[in-house]
Amino acid sequence: MKCLSESRALVAIILFILGMGTLLPWNFFTTAFAYFNDRLNTTMSNGTESGQTDPYMFNNMCVLISQLPLLLFTLLNSFLYQHIAEKIRIVGSMVFILLLFILTAALVKVKMEQDLFYNVTMTTIWFINMFGAVLQGSLFGLVGKLPQRYSSFFMSGQAVAGIFSAVAMLISQISEVDNENAALGYFVTPCAATLLTLCCYLLLPHLKFARDHLEDGPGNKEDTKKEGIQKESVTLVKVKLSEPAYGPNCSGQSNSKTADIREKQEEQYEEKSPVLAVLKKIWVMALCVTCVFMVTLSVFPAITVLVQPDALFTGIWADIFTALCCFLVFNVMDWIGRSVTSVVQWPSKESRLFPILVVARLIFIPAFMLCNIPSHRLSGVFKHEFAYILVMSLFAMTNGYFACLCMSYAPQLVRPKDAETTGALMTFFLALGLSLGAALSFVLKMLI
């Protein structure tokens, strides 16, 4: 019993690290935007006007190039995961992400032409998000096979990845480290984190609790099925022998027991449902997770980084206002929201109030646009810093809370056999929400 308890604790820790490992590399990559812009703007391209500060439109292109493979490969993963073994998808994705970050770190010290550096960086962004999409979808499928509360450990790990990147940005700004050395640290850290994540994943099958829930390999299916048929035969013989020799309800009891045993055996070995059949069962949660991330990405960080301090933050505090009150507050409160779901799950997955509350988060879009954004005409409504911090805290906490509930509720709506399909589909709709939010952010930015 003690060994099983220790196994559960280790599984929880490993899932936390796996969750952190899915998002930490990309979070650190985006933290180095100052480095990328610095290298791309050192020498203007031919024909660029002297007043232009971003000839490559790096920030906008980065959003576009990152969202396209994320959306495309989460969709492909929903249909192709049955043809590629889970271990190959997860281990392969981690290895390629590690190699890409080693390349990115090496390029920090390599001088090259701006156009070539831009093309290499965009290609790297594409492949990092491509493998990240496959990795995240596969891990959500794996987590869906475990009890519900383990989903919150995975989701909390993802939130902590954001906290680490925000703290790294804050330390970099306070210490006034140059962009090149800061970027080197940003790229080396994900290499170490990815190695740790890979080791944790390889350890997972050796833990009894995880093995009991996750073992369903296609190579063992036929042997397991034969063994189950043999067990069923033995059990049916025992039922027959244990029946009373006579009695008015003898035949009915026998048929009932036999039917129950056969039904359980059929449920255990039946095939996985088609993707569309699974989608019909989880479509509410799929749309909810899309809405959650669409609202979040529409304003964070495109709009939220434009908010400026009014009077309270001066001097060095004004310089770190965005890193502290935007990125760090968001990631900390997002983590708190995800962690709360391990204690409280309200509303329930059947409640009509759940989608209503998710849609109600749309109120945060005008709320941020009414904060202290100098170029916006209505920026004086929530001018004080504390108003912005309060809105950001509620915004981030609800993002983490509802996102985590969506991802943990969805596998409960299907059979255990369809948990992996559910994880892949939910990851696609999560990516769809990110893409829609990123597109909406361009529109909202034009309104300011």
What is the tens place of the pLDDT at every residue in 278-290?
Answer: 999 999 999 999 9
Per-residue confidence (pLDDT) for residue 240, from 0 to 100: 43
Residue, of 403 and 233, whose pLDDT is higher: 403
What percent of the chain stands above pLDDT 90?
A: 46
Helices 114-143, 86-107: inter-axial angle, 10-degree rounding:
150
Q: Is 176 helix (H, G, I), strand (E, B) or coil?
A: coil
Task: Categorize the per-residue pLDDT at 197 as very low, low, confident or very high, splitting at 50, 70 and 90.
Answer: very high
Task: Categorize the per-residue pLDDT at 432 as very low, low, confident or very high, splitting at 50, 70 and 90.
Answer: very high
Per-residue confidence (pLDDT) for residue 201, from 0 to 100: 95
Per-residue confidence (pLDDT) for residue 376, from 0 to 100: 65
pLDDT score of 218 more than 50: no
pLDDT score of 122 more than 70: yes
Per-residue confidence (pLDDT) for residue 106, from 0 to 100: 95
- What lies within 8 Å, CB to CB, of 222 at 6+ separation is none
Mean pLDDT to the nearest integer, 380-395: 89
Q: Is 157 helix (H, G, I), strand (E, B) or coil?
A: helix
Task: Categorize the per-residue pLDDT at 54 as very low, low, confident or very high, splitting at 50, 70 and 90.
Answer: low
Average pLDDT, the chain: 82
Task: Categorize the per-residue pLDDT at 314 as very low, low, confident or very high, splitting at 50, 70 and 90.
Answer: confident
Give exposure, 29-65, as e/b (b: 16+ Cβ within 10 Å). Answer: bbbbbbbbbebbbeeeeeeeeeeeeebbebeeebbbb
Q: Which residues partner with 382 through β-bridges?
A: 371
Longest dimension (CA), the chain: 100
Residue, of 183 and 247, whose pLDDT is higher: 183
In whole angstroms, give the CA distance from residue 407 to residue 337: 13
Mean pLDDT to the nearest integer, 79-96: 87
Mean pLDDT to the nearest integer, 73-99: 87
- Compute and round to an integer the Cα radius of gyration of the chain: 25
Mean pLDDT to the nearest integer, 319-326: 90
Cis peptide, bond prior to residue 347, ω within 30 of zero = yes
Per-residue confidence (pLDDT) for residue 76, from 0 to 100: 84
Task: Categorize the per-residue pLDDT at 340 as very low, low, confident or very high, splitting at 50, 70 and 90.
Answer: very high
pLDDT score of 51 more than 50: no
Task: Provide the CA 62 distance to its chain's centre, in angstroms.
Answer: 19
Residue, of 325 and 377, whose pLDDT is higher: 325
pLDDT score of 264 more than 60: no
In whole angstroms, give the CA distance from residue 72 to residue 418: 21
Task: Categorize the per-residue pLDDT at 85 as very low, low, confident or very high, splitting at 50, 70 and 90.
Answer: confident
278 φ/ψ angles, rounded to the nearest 5 degrees: -70, -40
Comparing 37-46, 239-248, 281-290, 355-364, the range with the smallest average pLDDT is 239-248
pLDDT score of 343 more than 70: yes
* Contact status, residue 359 vs residue 351, Cβ threshold 8 Å: no
Distances (CA, A) of 231 to 121, 226, 236, 259, 269: 57, 9, 9, 15, 13
pLDDT score of 128 more than 70: yes
Domain ranges for the chain: 2-42+57-214+272-447, 225-269
Q: Which two tokens stand for residue 86?
A: 């889970």
- What lies within 8 Å, CB to CB, of 442 at 6+ separation is 60, 302
Q: Which residues partner with 371 through β-bridges?
A: 382
Q: pTM of this prediction?
A: 0.78
Distances (CA, A) of 281 to 72, 232, 382, 414, 419: 22, 31, 42, 7, 12
Per-residue confidence (pLDDT) for residue 269, from 0 to 100: 52
Task: Categorize the per-residue pLDDT at 2 as very low, low, confident or very high, splitting at 50, 70 and 90.
Answer: low
Per-residue confidence (pLDDT) for residue 378, from 0 to 100: 63
- State the CATH class of domain 2-42+57-214+272-447: mainly alpha
Comparing 11-15, 18-22, 176-180, the range with the smallest average pLDDT is 176-180
DSSP string across 204-268: GGGSHHHHHHH---HHHHHHHHHHHHHHHHHHHHHHHHHS-SS-TTHHHHHHHHHHHHHHHHHHH
Task: Categorize the per-residue pLDDT at 231 as very low, low, confident or very high, splitting at 50, 70 and 90.
Answer: very low
In whole angstroms, give the CA distance from residue 355 to residue 357: 5
pLDDT score of 103 more than 70: yes
